[in-house]
Structures are given as C-alpha cells and as structure tokens.
Chain A
Amino acid sequence: MGDFAEIWSYLAEGPLLWLTATLVAYVIGDAAAKAAGGAPLVNPVLVAVILLAGMLWASGTPYPVYLEGAQFVHFMLGPVTVALAVPLYANLGSLRAVVLPALAALVAGSLTAVISALGIAMALGVDFATLASLAPKSATAPVAIGVAQALGGSPTLTAVLVIITGLIGAVVATPLLDALGIRDWRARGFSVGVAAHGMGTARALQVNERAGAFAGIGMALNAVLTALLAPWALALMTGQ
C-alpha cells in the first residue's frame, strides 16, 4: 500500500495523471454516447465531467491541481476557434445565399436568449449581480466574462452559467429542432451556435459538417452582438 501512495504522490505532482484522466474520461464519454445511439442526455462532455468530478472528489484533489494537468487540453480552445475558419471557408458559398436569414436569426436568437433569461430570473426574484452574470451567458466564455464584469457580475459565476448554457444547448438541440420540423442544416446549426456558443457548435459538428460550420458562424457573430446587446437589455429591464 505504501508503494501505491508513493506512486500516487509522484504522479499527482506532474501534469501526466490528470491530462491522461481527462482524455480517458472523454474516450469513455464518447463511447457511452455512441453506445446510447446519440441519446441527447448521454453527452460525451457531461459523462466525462461526471467521471472526473467523481475522481477529484474521491482523491481529494483540488481543481487547480487538476487544471495544471488539464491545461494542455484547455489551451487548445484558442487554436480550435481559429480552426473554425476552415468549415466557414468551405461553406462560404452557401453562406452567401442566406445572408439575410442568418442576420435575422442572429438578432432574433440573441435577443431571445438575453431577454427571456433576464425576464424569467427577474420574475423569480434573482438579485442584480446574478442578473449581470446571466445576461451574456449565450456568448462564448471570454466575451461573456468580460461583458458580465463590466456590468457588475461575477466572472466565476458567469463561467458556470456559460458552461451550463452550452450543455443545455448541446443536449436539447437535436430533439428540439426535430420536434419543430426544421431540416435545413444551416438553420439548425446557426441557431445552436448563437444560443449555445462553442459547446453547441461542438454538438452541431458531431451531427453534420455543414451544421457545424453555420454554428461556428453563429457563435462568432453572437460574441459581437451580445457584447453590444446585453448591457442595453440589462439596463432597460432592471432600470439600473
């Protein structure tokens, strides 16, 4: 047993252990999602997060220690955003054909996300600092955090709300859009990217390459629009 503790403390000091754990958890999540035949609740990210949170809790590992290992994965969020230029490039021709529908969907989707979230939270008596963190939650994390901070919200809470929004979007998108009878991949992907940023885009890419490209466009455009809309909507709705 002493050997095990020794090996553990050695491994726990370097990034190898938690980097490997992150990849293994994701491989399991991905396999579970495939085995479940694409059932929306068996989302690879959701499964991996539950597994890893359980491991951190059981081993008493604080999150910063975990992130030291997982930061190599986390870092790739930047380059992967740049890489979204590729599906955008490949689908530029089909984007040109739907500039007006896309712009209308962007404004409608972005406004709906901000106003309905604030309206429901206000009706349920949520305080102003939480509302400020909630308003930009459909935008990609760095934008949402910047906007929330400027409005008097909390960066940590905003990050939490952004991630939960992404998970909800990734889980509900397929059944919701099927139920609405929307078969156009461009409309499906675009609306998910606007409402649920990169995590929605990840889900869209899994389902269909063209939907993924349009989700990436929706995410990028809504990053800009949310930065402009959220402060205005919050001031208008709360009167502060």
Chain B
Amino acid sequence: MHHALTLILLAQLAGESLSRLLDLPVPGPVVGMALMLAAMLASPRIAAVVRPVAEGILRHISLLFVPAAVGVVGHLDRLGEDGAAVLAALIVSTVLAIAVGALVFVWVQRFVGGSDG
C-alpha cells in the first residue's frame, strides 16, 4: 500500500518538475500519468504493486471534485448578466461534443474495419 502511494507521488512529483522545467502545455499530473504508464510497461512488478491501490483511489474519483465544485457555488454571480447565454453555450456544446465524438469514433471504426468492443 505505502509502496504504491510512494510510486504514485513520485510519478506526480517527476511530472510536475518536467512540466515546469520544459514549459510543457500539459499539467504535471498528466505528465505523471504518462511516466507511470511507462514505468508499468517497463516493469510488471511496478504494475502489480500500483494496480490495486490505484483502482481503490479511482473508485472514489468523483469525491475529489466536491471541494472545487463547492467553490463554484460562491462564484455563480461571476457568470454575470451573460449567465443564461454562457450556460446555454455550455450545455449545447457539451452535448454536441459528446455526441460528435462518440459518433465519429464509431463511424471511423466501421470504416477502417476495427474489432467490436
């Protein structure tokens, strides 16, 4: 358990450092994810150690968004007089993006003749 957590934090720390050092457009934790993936591919032992702990954390990933979302409530007035327009843009664009993304995925897959999932 503590080995897995140490490896995860090390990957995040390395990711944050790389992201800053190389001025990458990707945030540190995302770089850390790539580093962790590389480490797991390089060493099945690392994969075996990290896997159960990571799956435990991931099961409750929704919880982690609660503090930030509570902060949003206090800033709803920031949407200002444009609130309704911005909200309409958010709803329609999110619905469209999910629909278009999923449809394109399925169409291209059919076109290139990939396997069914």
Among the 9-residue stretches A6-14, A34-42, A138-146, the one with 4 or more Cβ atoms under 8 Å from chain B is: A138-146
Chain B residues contacting A210 (CB-CB under 8 Å) are: 117
A81-B30, A156-B75, A199-B65 known; A126+B82 contact, CB < 8 A: yes
A23-B63, A80-B58 known; A124+B85 contact, CB < 8 A: yes
Chain A residues contacting B5 (CB-CB under 8 Å) are: 79
Contact mask for chain B residues 38-81; partner A; CB cutoff 8 A; 1 contact, 0 none = 00110000010011011101111111111111111111101110
For the complex, would chain B's binding face be called helix, strand, loop or mixed by DSSP majority? helix
Residue from the list B9, B34, B68 in contact with A74, Cβ < 8 A: B68
User: Chain B contact residues (Cβ within 8 angstroms of A): what range?
Assistant: 35 or more
Question: Chain B residue with minimal CB distance to A82?
Answer: B32
Q: Is the CB of B65 within 8 A of A83?
A: no
Q: Is the CB of A117 within 8 A of B105?
A: no
Question: Chain B residue with minimal CB distance to A108?
Answer: B104
Q: Is the CB of A82 within 8 A of B36?
A: yes
- Bound CA–CA A210/B46 (angstroms): 21
Question: Chain B residue with minimal CB distance to A211?
Answer: B117
Residue from the list B65, B67, B71, B104 in contact with A198, Cβ < 8 A: B65
Chain B residues contacting A25 (CB-CB under 8 Å) are: 66
Output the residue of A77, A159, A164 with the most chain B CB within 10 A: A164
Residue pairs across A and B with Cβ atoms less than 8 A apart, 18 shown, are A26-B66, A45-B63, A74-B68, A89-B41, A92-B41, A100-B108, A101-B106, A105-B101, A110-B97, A120-B88, A121-B85, A124-B85, A168-B94, A187-B101, A190-B102, A191-B102, A202-B65, A224-B26
Binding site for B on A (CB under 8 A): 22-23, 25-26, 30, 44-45, 48-49, 52-53, 56, 63, 66-67, 70-71, 73-74, 76-90, 92, 94, 97-98, 100-102, 104-106, 108-110, 112-114, 116-118, 120-121, 124-127, 130, 134, 137-138, 140-143, 146, 154, 156-157, 159-161, 163-169, 172-173, 176-177, 180, 182, 184-188, 190-192, 194-196, 198-203, 205-206, 210, 212, 216, 218, 220, 223-224, 227-228
